[in-house]
Amino acid sequence: MKIIGIALIVLGVVGLVYGGISWTQRETVLDIGPVEVAREDRESIPVPPIAGAISLVAGVALVLAGGRRAA
C-alpha cells in the first residue's frame, strides 16, 4: 500500500508542477548503410491540476494508512 501511495504522490507532484507527463519517442524511418533517417514524436498526457491534487492527497493518505497498519 505504501508503494502505491508513493507512486500517487509522485504522479500528483508531476501533474501539479509540469501539468502532465510528456515523452519523446524516436523511430527509425530509413536505414540504408551509413545513412539513417529518424523521426521524433513528442507525446504527452495532460493532467488537470485538480487531478494532480487529488492524486497527491490520496497518496499521502495511503502512505499514512500503511504506516499505521504496520506499527
Instruction: Specify the DSSP class assigned to residue 69.
Output: H
Contact 15, 65 (CB under 8 A): no
| Residue-level pLDDT at 18 | 83
Q: Is residue 6 domain-resident? A: no
Contact 13, 71 (CB under 8 A): no
Q: Give the pLDDT confidence score for residue 70 in this predicted structure.
A: 53
Query: What residue numbers bound the domain in which 25 lies?
Result: 20-70
- Identify whether 47 is part of a domain: yes
For the question of whether the overall pTM of this predicted structure is more than 0.75, the answer is no
Is residue 37 included in any domain, yes or no?
Answer: yes
Report how far residue 33's alpha carbon sits from residue 31's, in angstroms, rounded to the nearest whole number: 6
Q: Is residue 33 part of a domain?
A: yes
Please indicate, yes or no, if residue 8 is contained in any of the structural domains.
Answer: no
14-65 per-position pLDDT tens digit: 888 888 778 999 999 999 989 999 999 999 888 888 988 999 999 999 999 8
CA–CA dist 13, 52 (Å, integer): 7
Could you tell me if residue 5 is inside a domain?
no
pLDDT score of 69 = 61
Q: Is 51 contained in some domain?
A: yes
Task: Give the β-pairing of 20-32 and 35-46.
Answer: antiparallel
Number of domains in the chain: 1
24/46 Cα distance (integer angstroms): 15
